[in-house]
Amino acid sequence: MTVTTNGGTREHRFVCALCGDADRALRYDCARCGGPVLVDAAAVTAGDLGPAGLGARGPWRFPALLPRTETRVSLGEGDTPLVPLSFVRAGPRPVFAKLESLNPSLSFKDRAMAVGASAAVDRGLHGLVVASTGNAAVSAATYAAAAGLSCTVLVGSESQAAKKLDACRALGAEVQEIPGDYSAAYARARALEGEGWMNVSTTYRNPLLAEGYRSIAFELIEQLGRAPSAVIVPIGAGPLLRGIERGFADAVAVGRAPRPAALVGVQAARVAPIHAAWVRRHGSPGAGGGATPAAGGPTLATAIADRLTGYESHGDLTVAAVERTGGAVVAVDEESIVEATRRLAASGIWVEPSAATALAAVGSGAAAIPGVHGADASGGLDDDGPVVLMLTGHGAKAPALPAA
């Protein structure tokens, strides 16, 4: 499980997204202004993307896209299947599903946790602490076990994550349920992070983690034989989307894509702070505009139900990433989420409702989502450009849908 060479290769610094203050030591927020911290590294070049180490797969096939680590903790994450969805088209465009649900712990988070666990081993830390709506918790427990680290999981009681918590316990993690929502669990994780523990809460809290998502852009280009027109990404805070955005920027820089894919963030209308921020800046895309934000009530899309309470600026990082690609942020209602989950299951693809929001977005009535229904990111209508749905998490860990 743990290899002591062939980790990432990029020398990097940790840089504040707000004031630019930089440091070589890992930090979770800016010492000067409290802003979120991102990894900053030299631009990748074509020469950097040579052969990877023996047995490398997924993100480890592209070590030049990863922060430098001596350790590689891997369970075979990444290189997930891309399958055509014959029952749906986005106008003339074919639609494909990227089955992130088939990662080792059944969600996309494994790409990030492999990097986090590797960095924790490098630093000689005791364990991983994670605030999670469930998927990150199972992933952290999985990769802590693989790395021989301890794991403490903090989950908000609103997250309806019983099956996910069972998985964490089975993997040897200590589980603490915190009254309230994800943000409450997140605040507790911040209080615990420190000597001996790495915080792997994926809400941009640990700047190393989203780097594990960059190689997704390269996988998609390989699998499609071309760059997609758009990639639809379910988002809580959105580090997955930002990681993919960085990957397409890398792909453009080394000549593997003519332009970045339009990235479309999708949220459940009931918990949609980033969609609300997007609408304030840009208005709703198209006449339909997707769902209008609905007040109150829990969403079935628990894995992306992040209100960003206390770290609102993290949502700005995601909005900026979407803007750089010419994409959009949309919200979908509960009825369309249930319908999309059932439609995918009826075609043999069992995912959780949060993942199915990506399919719901295609049919959301947002008539002019860039790269999906309308012009692509370059402003032209490239009819052949495929649309990719990031199916972020498996159905096996999710609560059953309400009866039809």
Query: Using CB under 5 A as the criterion, which residues of the chain lie in contact with Zn ion when the complex forms?
Result: 16, 18-19, 21, 30, 32-33, 35
Whichever of 32 and 282 has its CB closer to Zn ion, that residue is 32
Nearest alpha-carbon partner for 75 in 170, 159, 179, 3: 3
Question: Which residue's CB is nearer to Zn ion, number 20 or number 258?
Answer: 20
Whichever of 18 and 367 has its CB closer to Zn ion, that residue is 18
Residue (16 or 235) nearer to Zn ion, CB? 16
Minimum CB distance to Zn ion smaller for 270 or for 314: 314
**Residue 127 burial class via C-beta count within 10 angstroms: exposed 0-12, middle 13-18, buried 19 and up:** buried
- Compute φ and ψ for 125, nearest 5 degrees: -80, 165
N-to-C CA span, the chain: 43
Which among 93, 97, 85, 87 has a CA at the least distance from the CA of 374? 93
Indicate the residue among 30 and 119 with the shorter CB distance to Zn ion: 30
Pairing state between β 387-391 and 230-234: parallel
Q: Which is nearer to Zn ion, 38 or 115 (CB)?
A: 38
Nearest residue to 289 via CA among 302, 303, 306, 272? 272
**Minimum distance from CB of 41 to Zn ion (Å)?**
18
* CB of 31 vs Zn ion, minimal distance in Å: 8
DSSP-assigned beta bridge partners for residue 67: 10
Length of the chain: 404
- Tell me how far, at minimum, the Cβ of 320 lies from Zn ion, in Å: 16
Least distance from C-beta 27 to Zn ion, angstroms? 10
User: Cβ closer to Zn ion: 15 or 217?
Assistant: 15
DSSP collapsed to 3 states, 76-143: CCCCCCEEEEEEEEECCEEEEEEEHHHCCCCECHHHHHHHHHHHHHHCCCCEEEEEECCHHHHHHHHH
Least distance CB 205 / Zn ion (angstroms):
15
Pairing of strands 150-156, 127-132: parallel
Instruction: Give the 3-state secondary structure of residue 168.
Output: helix
In the complex, least distance from residue 226 CB atom to Zn ion, rounded to whole angstroms: 39
> Which of 398, 389, 394 is closest to 96 using CA atoms?
389
**What whole-number distance in Å separates Cα of residue 369 and Cα of residue 355?**
18
Q: In the complex, what is the shortest distance from the CB of residue 249 to Zn ion, in angstroms, rounded to a whole number?
A: 23
- Beta carbon of residue 207, minimum distance to Zn ion (angstroms, whole number): 13
